[in-house]
Structure 1
Amino acid sequence: MRAIATPGGLPISDPAALVDVEVEAPQALPHDLVVRVEAVSVNPVDSKVRLSANPSDTPRILGYDAAGTVTAVGQEVSGFAVGDEVYYAGAIDRPGSNADYQAVDHRIAAHKPTTLSFADAAALPLTALTAMEALEDLFHVGANSEGTLLVLGGAGGVGSIMIQLAKRLTSLRVIATASRPETAAWAREMGADEVANHHDLGAEVLRIVPEGVDYVLSTHSEGQIGAFAEIVKPLGHIAAIDDGNLNLSPLKPKRISWHWEFMFSRSLFQTPDIAVQGRMLADLATMVDAGEIRTTATQYIEDFTAAGIREAHRRIESHGTQGKIVVTR
């Protein structure tokens, strides 16, 4: 089959950063679906893994978000059949979705929303799972939960869906950060109650909510720990999706809890509750089909080749995108 792969470590300006290759089609392991991939979306993690991968003679197939049609099922699969249309975010330790066919554990997949195209469905899984895990696993909030949630990068892929899900699943007030008129408008369109300029985070947030916030979803934590210590209430919670060497000691006096959110943990470590991700995606599909959550796809590249994926990576690395970039056949 045809796939798009990276030898690792090359800048996106290099045509060899992502190349078209021919590889063996995947076979279904006991828990697997084999999926004919129709659309993928590109996330910052795609670019990060490409750049950090050690150069190799065996190119690595990247890609996480995907939507497509089931062509085979493993012996221990239940709830899926050949011909089903599915969507998922995949696993970081298996060949990715930038290929004609992909094998994915059925427990982290779900039937795609019937009201969305493959392209619009492919925009959702990774970011929605990130947001839902933060809300459910880390913040432990639900329909009756009140307080204030601060979402950094409200116009980004994770921010766009976190705003929607927080407004749908909780009673939290949502403040999003944005710095340009167009990104602020997008965050409000997603449902944000207020928008703060992240260039002066502490002052901006306290202007809107002088008593501080209860929860923070941090997409960029470096240089913000001092501001977090100022604006988060005592016993508050921060969930970070980025990484780095951070000094968290300023958070100690208020006993602010710091959580790492990494959507791939369940699949990477085959946790006993791995099927939670499939359930979350099924719940998301129900909300989408009910008109309660919308796709965050904003850009479509109709070129499912190395050239098209390279262009998606280039746009992601420009750090000027709103929502999600989708690549389709």
Structure 2
Amino acid sequence: MMMQRTRTRSMAVLRMAPMLALALALTALQAQAAPESPGMSPLADQDLRLARIGYRIAVQNADRCPFPDRLTGLLLHDRAAYDERDRTLIAARFGLGNGFGVRDVIEGSAADRAGIRRGDEIVALNGSEMASFAVGLIGRTASYDRIDAFETLLSRTLQQGPATLELRRDGVPRTLQFPADLGCGGRWVVIPANAFNAWSDGHYVAVTSRLMTDIADDAELAFVVAHEMSHNILRHQEQLHGRSALLAQLGLGSARVKDTEIEADTLAVGLLARAGYDLGAPERFLVQAARKRPFDVPITHPGLKRRIGIVTAEIARLQLHPSTATVAPSNAAFGSEHARTVEPPAVTTPIALETID
């Protein structure tokens, strides 16, 4: 259990990557004395793209978790997320004070429907001022700890019902009621790395920046995300008891690891169907992944042909029994009021976890 908490903690820390990239971009722009106002960094754009896809899948499959997450659709930053030397620059660029800045908002999400916009600053939650919240976590070096603490507080608050947020937008105060969407499958994070890879740890789904760049089709990327979310939903980390891919490659427990990959591929098809994604995408992605990683040995994962067969068979099964996974239109609105309460696709094989590595 301690190992699992440590791994989850390390994933949360990596959520700082878009903010660090943004600070570097702004610093470079300032050094060049460029007149134009910069937008978000490429890594921050990838972060938003991944969050959009993950949010859509999670909301449309909320009933698959006995205790669904409370999702907001907010991507936040605060001054503690930047090194001390960058805070003045960041504050000037984004109007960021001592609260929590809205770095991005997922379209159609709970936050979007409530009227929260990029550039807003959350200054109070249910009457509690954020300027004094967790100030002990603000150090000289960049840290995600304060944002993590706020997100935990916000999630717990939303479990009790809609929260009252006080915002500052362009210097003007605003107050609004803010409900949450229910979701299942974990959170999402982009990892700056050149590897073509993705993985999950029971709570987070991590996708490398290289894979995000190489997979331009959102439906194909959604299959990757759904596969890793399936590992989280099916609690494969707990079942494997920390068994590593390296041990599996040495033949120690490889059969069970491979089983989890089969299970994740199978369930991922149902997750995609409910979210309204193109079900031709899994095969396209698998073919592309095989080209990107031609030297992978199918010890911990089924081979390409078998995996294509698995997803094809599940798609055919869903077509014969569509009531097991109601398909949402591709432009379906998000929101708990739109979430389907339907039976998840039956899985006839003992399911398994696949990270792409």
Which structure carries more helix by proportion?
2
Instruction: Calculate the TM-score normalised by the size of structure 1.
Output: 0.29
Q: Which has the higher strand share?
A: 1
